[in-house]
Structure 1
Amino acid sequence: MSESKNKNNWRQMIAPYEQSNTKRSIWQLINTFVPLVLLWYATYWSLSISYWLTLPLAIVTAGVLVRIFIIFHDCCHGSFFSNKQANRIVGTITGILTFCPYDQWKYSHSRHHATSGNLDKHGVGDIWTLTVEEYLELPKLKRIAYRLYRNPIVMFGLGPSFIFLVNYRFNRKGAKQREKNNTYLTNIAIVGLIAFFCWLIGWKAFLLVQGPIFLISGLAGVWLFYVQHQFEGAYFEKDENWNHVDAALQGSSFYKLPRILQWFTGNIGFHHIHHLSSRVPNYYLDKAHKENELFQDVAPVTFFSSFKSLRFRIWDENRKKLMGFSYIKKFLQANKLKG
């Protein structure tokens, strides 16, 4: 079957994987939450031995917290359970653990899925990506702000802390009351959890344990989201040329990770399939990829090749490529010569 026919039949192709399995979902909750509790305790216990033991344990615990976030992510899409209320309850709980208000994130992420790769509608829930022309039209201060935003130190160093500690604590403009209440509930629960653990083990021990777990998991989460849409061969189009299938299969990466990292990241590396249908639970993404040639034809981004994405800063509509800031000078010179 040709690739074009495969693309036309994608709904029929993806349908068998879109049904959640309650037993698998519950088992994933068990095999994620139990390791989280045990590892968190082991990380705390290791403080009495050496902080050099604490840090490696914190890294592994942070990996499990990333897996918790993937469960939260599936609940926001309504794909983890078939029951809406079950998704909402588990999503709110996992959202508290990952510092993400369920309703707020569900709204912004659904906007991201609807507009990913669309140059006329991008912005909500996305990595801020400008075209060369858009960048050149900005006033100087906004250009500086964009350059700072795209700096790896800011994006992966300061960015996660700002997003999870500050940005998610406030309701978006236009939020409905139910969404506002969920944000308030999440904030109160987060403060309550922190207060409880500070009382239980002391604030210094809590910071020494939770601090690196939070920072590492936040960095990993932002990095995964970045690589999913900022890679060599990424897809961006104006609204009149944009279409859902190409945005999914070309604009969302197949991040081919080692098996152990695939477990920690809840198969989110199969992002091309996830963007084609967000109704597929994370535990069926690998199966969908293996059983369908269309998905296997997507060129993978490997763990090591993904670091090339760090040099991408801006989209050139002429070349249809993500470029570095150094390209702007070449662009201006080329246009000056044409003029």
Structure 2
Amino acid sequence: MQPAHNGDGVLDARRWTRILSNYSAPNRLRSVAELVITALPLIMLWTAAWFTFSLGHAWASLLIAIPAAGFLVRLFMIQHDCGHGTFFASRLANDWVGRVIGVLTLTPYDCWRRMHATHHATTGNLDRRGIGDLDTLTVREYRALSWWGRLKYRLYRNPLVMFGVGPAYLFLLQQRLPVGLMRNGWQPWASTMATNLAIAVIVAVLTWFIGIKAFLLVHLPIILLAATAGVWLFYVQHQFEHTSWERDEIWNLHQAALHGSSHYELPALLRWFTANIGIHHVHHLSSRIPYYRLPRVLRDHPELRDVGRITLLQSFRCVRLVLWDEAQRRLVSFREIRAGDFQETAPNRAAPSP
């Protein structure tokens, strides 16, 4: 096998994509088993949370919501793999499993799949921001804003908004309409409205049987915890100090995938609940790899372990990183741009060789 390094020993992202294609075949039995061991515990935990609530033990119901949210996050990751066409070999199976899961995760599958494909196709491209990613300004762009524009960006980037209000707004409100895809024909509307209708039917049936109060106090904590965890994961996967952003003329898809995505090294239990999505640099290099094969990639190719590696403790420091400094080629904090002497223009850089 041809080594995935250039002559200087630097990891060659383009060669890695060819090597990683060997891991892309899904295993149908494994996929079905993964679906079962994720969906069934979620249903059982939800039922247990409702039962304890009905007995007057609301505190116990809230405790049960924590592992239930973990299984809901894992179910979303299965939907994510379906969106990439990797969970099953059949496109039809991927799409319908993804659509059904999308009702439970409050995420219209077909609409989300299109936006997520755009995210993969443009990640790390400074001139193609805005769809399927977090809003990230450069230092120069931020400085050019009015005081009102700076205040809005600071509020958006505030941790209480980003990981508190933001997840609730995203999953409960924003995803009820195909925001950002209004001009893309009827498919985003059909996906969103069909998902909304299915959600409405399930909510109506459950509230009929257990009451609106029980439904909200049992289900909302699970949804909000899972939503916050999902937004946090997406944040850390690309918002770390030495991520990669380039202007369109020198941007390279493979280099952006390898160096613009983190290896979020989590403890074993959290890796299981997040379906190995922390091995994000490998996922972006080859999104056709099922999540249960990603650890094998690292075992077979240990040189990938330290690329963009972030531990759980280190990840909490990423919250302060809010602006891309084109001169230093790293994410910086508001405090740094107040204290530091930042260049206003990025240095000239040659385009990567094809």
With the shorter chain as reference, the TM-score category is: over 0.9
Residues 98 and 2 from structure 1, CA distance in 2 versus in 1: closer, same or farther, beyond 3 angstroms?
A: closer
Determine if contact 1:69/1:94 at 8 Å carries over to the other structure.
yes
Over the aligned positions, Cα root-mean-square deviation in angstroms equals: 1.6
Q: Secondary structure at the match of 1:3?
A: coil
Match for 1:42: what amino acid?
A
Identical pairs, percent: 45
Residues 99 and 165 from structure 1, CA distance in 2 versus in 1: closer, same or farther, beyond 3 angstroms?
A: same
1:318 partnered with 2:327: yes
In the aligned structure 2, how far is the partner of 1:321 from the partner of 1:327? 12
Shift of 1:332: 6.3
Determine if contact 2:263/2:305 at 8 Å carries over to the other structure.
no
Which residue of structure 1 aligns with residue 142 of structure 2? 135
Shift of 1:175: 2.5
Which residue of structure 2 aligns with residue 180 of structure 1? 189
Matches within 5 A, 1:195-214: 195-214=204-223
1:308 partnered with 2:314: no
In the aligned structure 1, how far is the partner of 2:162 from the partner of 2:308? 26
Which residue of structure 2 aligns with residue 27 of structure 1? 33
Shift of 1:51: 2.1
In the aligned structure 2, how far is the partner of 1:240 from the partner of 1:117? 12
Determine if contact 1:232/1:321 at 8 Å carries over to the other structure.
yes
In the aligned structure 1, how far is the partner of 2:234 from the partner of 2:150? 23
Which residue of structure 2 aligns with residue 64 of structure 1? 71
Match for 2:27: what amino acid?
N
Tell me which of 124, 128, 133 is aligned to 1:121. 128
In the aligned structure 1, how far is the partner of 2:197 from the partner of 2:249? 44
Match for 1:28: what amino acid?
E
In the aligned structure 2, how far is the partner of 1:27 from the partner of 1:83? 16
Which residue of structure 1 aligns with residue 100 of structure 2? 93
Match for 1:68: what amino acid?
L
Q: Secondary structure at the match of 1:318?
A: coil
In the aligned structure 2, how far is the partner of 1:283 from the partner of 1:2? 23
Match for 1:135: what amino acid?
Y
Q: Which has the higher helix share?
A: 1
In the aligned structure 2, how far is the partner of 1:12 from the partner of 1:299? 20
Matches within 5 A, 1:1-339: 1=3, 3-4=5-6, 7=12, 8-47=14-53, 48=55, 50-171=57-178, 172-331=181-340
Structure 2 unmatched ranges of 5 or more: 345-354
In the aligned structure 2, how far is the partner of 1:11 from the partner of 1:224? 23
Shift of 1:37: 0.8
Determine if contact 1:3/1:294 at 8 Å carries over to the other structure.
no
In the aligned structure 2, how far is the partner of 1:188 from the partner of 1:2? 48
In the aligned structure 2, how far is the partner of 1:179 from the partner of 1:74? 19
In the aligned structure 1, how far is the partner of 2:96 from the partner of 2:342? 56
Residues 91 and 334 from structure 1, CA distance in 2 versus in 1: closer, same or farther, beyond 3 angstroms?
A: closer
Residues 324 and 40 from structure 1, CA distance in 2 versus in 1: closer, same or farther, beyond 3 angstroms?
A: same
Residues 334 and 20 from structure 1, CA distance in 2 versus in 1: closer, same or farther, beyond 3 angstroms?
A: closer
Which residue of structure 1 aligns with residue 352 of structure 2? none
Q: Secondary structure at the match of 1:237?
A: coil
In the aligned structure 2, how far is the partner of 1:333 from the partner of 1:310? 21
Shift of 1:15: 1.2
TM-score by length of 2: 0.91
Shift of 1:297: 3.5
Which residue of structure 1 aligns with residue 347 of structure 2? none
In the aligned structure 2, how far is the partner of 1:95 from the partner of 1:150? 27
In the aligned structure 2, how far is the partner of 1:298 from the partner of 1:334? 27
Q: Secondary structure at the match of 2:331?
A: strand
Residues 328 and 254 from structure 1, CA distance in 2 versus in 1: closer, same or farther, beyond 3 angstroms?
A: same
- The Cα offsets for residues 261-286 of structure 1, whole Å up to 9 and x where unpaired, read as 11110110100011101111111111
Q: Secondary structure at the match of 1:322?
A: strand
- The Cα offsets for residues 2-42 of structure 1, whole Å up to 9 and x where unpaired, read as 63275242133101111111111111111111111111111
Shift of 1:334: 7.3
Shift of 1:296: 2.0
Structure 1 unmatched ranges of 5 or more: none
Match for 2:64: what amino acid?
L
Match for 1:304: what amino acid?
L
Q: Secondary structure at the match of 1:304?
A: helix
In the aligned structure 1, how far is the partner of 2:43 from the partner of 2:120? 32
How many corresponding residue pairs?
335
Shift of 1:43: 1.1
